[in-house]
Amino acid sequence: MAHNEHTAATEQHVHRDDVGARMGMWLFLFTEILLFGGMFLVYAVYRYQYPDQFLLAGMELNTTIGAINTIILITSSLTVALSIAALQKDNKFLSILMLVITIFFAFLFMVNKYFEWTAKIDHGIYPGSEQMLEKQNGEILFFGLYYIMTGLHGLHIIIGIVILSVILMFIVKDKITSTNLVKLENSGLYWHLVDLIWIFLFPLFYLIQ
Amino acid sequence: MVNGIDSAKTKSFYEEGTTKKSSGLASWLFSTDHKRIGLMYLVTISVFFCVGAIFGILMRLELMSPGETIMKAETYNSFFTLHGVIMIFLFIIPGIPAVFGNFFLPLQIGAKDVAFPRINLLSYWIYIIGASLVLLSLLIPGGAIDTGWTFYIPYSVRSGSNISLAIFAAFVLGFSSILTGLNFITTVHRMRAPGMTWFRMPLFVWATYATAWIQIIATPVIAITILLVILERFFGVGIFDPALGGDPILFQHMFWIYSHPAVYIMILPAMGVVSEIIPTFARRTIFGYKAIAMSSLAIAFVGYLVWAHHMFTSGMSDTARWIFSLLTFIVALPSGVKVFNWVATMYKGSIDPKPPFLWVMSFIVLFSIGGLTGLVVGSLATDIHLHDTYFVVAHFHYVMFGGTGTIFFAALYYWFPKMFGKMYNIKVASLGVLFFFISFNLLYFPKFILGYMGMPRRYYDYLPQFADLQLISTIGSWLMGLTLILIITNIVSAIIKGKKSEENPWGGVTLEWHTSSPPPLENFEVIPEVKHEPYDFSQLEEMKHGS
């Protein structure tokens, strides 16, 4: 920033500072990474402590559903990026369409997640269940972490759906336009982060078998 | 830097607000003006400070003599927990950044407001929600929290008291802290007035900036740790429960990964205030400006890597303990850099011992004692003897209360004329500092000796040989209570009926003194152009001509 002495304070009549808004968003995303970072730390500690039992427990997870959800999320990251690009080129209709598709994918992800979790719970695999307590310590921890980490991630997806829906309304009402799209860009950044975290969760839980 | 200050014409931020009406409760609660938000924090935080102090005084009363004095052991457990939780999460952590950072950071860099005024208001509201949850946890059935402010596992999972609600409150308060942090960082990067280069920023800005980074980097870790404890309590997930394979020590690590850097969230802004006050009252530019600025960043960085010195007795490997002890010693270096530079600034200065300066003198003594005893508990061998004794209690009260608490008052007394445009009674204020210094040492110094003799912290009862020193400490707590009343009354009565203050009573030269007192809504009539180093007192003449 040192080279950029012409900061927002000098432009007295412009109350908008897009660079500042993006910077704030990046700082927020940084805190999100640290939030999940704490979880990844716990995962690393217990994986190191119980490598065999983590392997065993990992077999129970449904790689197919995990893979489908990964594809869904990566595609939704693409559509949100396309939505930004479309609005930059003043194509409001395409931008709205892409955003709607993104939100649809987000719902689809949650639906899959719902079926995946209920299947687990039907098999008696959830924290504190009788079947769970019969398992070895490492497996209990694996499933505990599985529920917490994918649960926290799912919560972020739900928050993302809310944010993207609000942004969608703004675009429809022309409150976000091609000259003023920092809110859309920031929501896109958030969505990429949610995607990015899943990219790490997927192999750690579903693929290492 | 001629701003054409004409306070007769300029409306102050009290007379003009960001809301439709410029007065009334709503004009404050919905104001996005950083100055009003700062004042709201000041009022709220002061109230919680008083509540925390009352808990502290009652605890001391209980410890006046061995055995039960005024309360049962369970009540005592709740009292020390609440004293800790309120003082740490509601007073010291937000304290200086939220009150004085909010009010003065934009002023000192010549900005109209912070980068995100609405998020600033949001973080105040979140603070209020968090604080209300803490209070709610006292009132609803289940009982007040009794784990100590550290919420150590396994007791915090097994205790029947309202732990979940109280730590959820800490989670919420963390959000407030993060939002303030990212707001300040963006403000410093984006809102500096023309000519305000990085190395022309006042040192309080540097300190607040470094603090904001710690707030962002450390707070999410406590957030996730707290979530895990709550999930552990509700679902028995097993992350920290040894019966299910979890590791309680992991909780301690994660807790201190936040809570040790949080110590620097508490002290760094205070150090920034000291670097403002000393040049103003010594009429001399600060000695070692860059060294002080960089030492703030160094403390923020190294302070992140020392957390496990809180856990020397919890069974880590010797290598780990050795490394953390070494790093702990290293973090003392930048603190030392600051203290030496402050003292060097005063050398051959033209010192004017007004109350803010006296507070700083008191700070340097108390903080040095606190800092040096920190090295005693930072070394492995002595820590084994002193761990979890009154020595530790004395150490962190010297650093936190003697350090940050003292500077909270120093900042209040220094910037009071700027914030309110009025002046307090100088004589009473100076006496207040003296009484504070005496009662502080009476209250806390005996704890060093008690701890060395083996008195464990958080105990409800004690052996007869500790009785004399405990009594002295309790007497100190009464004097401290009276002193606090004196200090606070002086301020409150000055707000109500204080005389109008001069525009620049101390002769400060940083940007906040270049505008009227109290400042107008957008801080400056004209955005100032900075041409000087921050503590260049040759500007004073120029400023007089300007007005």
A155 CA: distance to closest CA in chain B (Å): 13
Q: What is the pLDDT of residue B212?
A: 96
**A131: which chain B residues are within 8 Å (Cβ-Cβ)?**
none
Query: In 3D, which of A78, A115, A98 has the Cα closest to residue A195?
Result: A78
Query: In 3D, which of B29, B183, B182 has the Cα closest to residue B117?
Result: B183
- The torsion angles phi and psi of B92, rounded to 5 degrees, stand at -75, -45
Using CA atoms, how far apart are residues A203 and A125, in angstroms rounded to an integer?
Answer: 20
Which secondary structure element, helix H or strand E, spans residue B353, and what is its range? Answer: none
Task: Say whether pLDDT at A34 is over 80.
Answer: yes
Cis ω before B528 (30° cut-off from 0): no
Using CA atoms, how far apart are residues A86 and A97, in angstroms rounded to an integer?
Answer: 10
CB-CB under 8 Å, A23 with B189:
yes
Task: Say whether pLDDT at B1 is over 70.
Answer: no
- The torsion angles phi and psi of A94, rounded to 5 degrees, stand at -65, -40
| % of chain A exceeding 70 in pLDDT | 93
**B219: which chain A residues are within 8 Å (Cβ-Cβ)?**
31
Task: Say whether pLDDT at B435 is over 60.
Answer: yes
Residue among A24, A127, A145 minimizing CB distance to B235: A127
Domain coordinates in residue numbering, chain B: 31-546
Return the SS3 of B456.
strand
Asked if A96 and A140 count as a contact pair (C-beta separation under 8 A), the reply is: no
Task: Say whether pLDDT at A11 is over 70.
Answer: no
Query: Stretch A146-167: mean pLDDT, rounded?
Result: 97
CB-CB under 8 Å, B189 with A20:
yes
Query: In 3D, which of B415, B407, B452 has the Cα closest to residue B433?
Result: B407
Task: Report CA dihedral (B225, B228, B233, B238) to the nearest 10 degrees.
Answer: -120
CATH superfamily of A18-207: Cytochrome c oxidase, subunit III, four-helix bundle (1.20.120.80)
Q: Check residues B541 and B331 and name the one with the higher pLDDT.
A: B331
Sign of CA dihedral B160, B164, B167, B169: negative
Neighbours of B91 (CB within 10 A): 25
CB-CB under 8 Å, A38 with B190:
no
Task: Say whether pLDDT at A155 is over 70.
Answer: yes
Q: Where are the alpha helices (DSSP H) in A92-136?
A: 92-122, 130-134
| % of chain B exceeding 70 in pLDDT | 98
Task: Report CA dihedral (B433, B434, B439, B444) to the nearest 10 degrees.
Answer: 70
Query: Stretch B314-325: mean pLDDT, rounded?
Result: 92
A65: CB partners within 8 A, 6+ apart? A112, A115, A116
Using CA atoms, how far apart are residues B315 and A49, in angstroms rounded to an integer?
Answer: 17
Point out which residues pair with B12 in neighbouring strands.
Answer: B520
- Write out pLDDT tens, residues A83-132: 999 999 999 999 999 999 999 999 999 999 999 999 999 999 988 888 88
Residue among A24, A35, A144 minimizing CB distance to B186: A24
Chain-centroid distance of CA A35 in Å reads 13
Task: Say whether pLDDT at B160 is over 90.
Answer: no
Task: Say whether pLDDT at B104 is over 90.
Answer: yes
Mean pLDDT lowest for which of B156-165, B287-296, B341-350?
B156-165
CATH superfamily of B31-546: Cytochrome c oxidase-like, subunit I domain (1.20.210.10)
Task: Say whether pLDDT at B64 is over 90.
Answer: yes
Domain coordinates in residue numbering, chain A: 18-207
- The amino acid sitting at A7 is T
- The torsion angles phi and psi of B389, rounded to 5 degrees, stand at -110, 180
CB-CB under 8 Å, A144 with B250:
no
Task: Say whether pLDDT at A5 is over 70.
Answer: no
B282 CA: distance to closest CA in chain A (Å): 31
Using CA atoms, how far apart are residues B244 and B233, in angstroms rounded to an integer?
Answer: 13
Instruction: Report in angstroms the alpha-carbon separations of B202 from B107, B328, B369.
Output: 11, 28, 27
Q: What is the pLDDT of residue B170?
A: 95
Q: What is the pLDDT of residue B10?
A: 75
Query: Stretch B355-371: mean pLDDT, rounded?
Result: 96
Query: Stretch B359-381: mean pLDDT, rounded?
Result: 95
- The amino acid sitting at B424 is Y
Asked if B269 and B406 count as a contact pair (C-beta separation under 8 A), the reply is: no
What does the DSSP 8-state code read for residue B521?
A: T
Q: What is the pLDDT of residue B9?
A: 60
Query: Stretch A139-162: mean pLDDT, rounded?
Result: 96
Q: What is the pLDDT of residue B386?
A: 95
Cα angle B221, B223, B225 (rounded to 5 degrees) comes to 70
Query: Stretch A194-205: mean pLDDT, rounded?
Result: 96
- The torsion angles phi and psi of A118, rounded to 5 degrees, stand at -65, -35
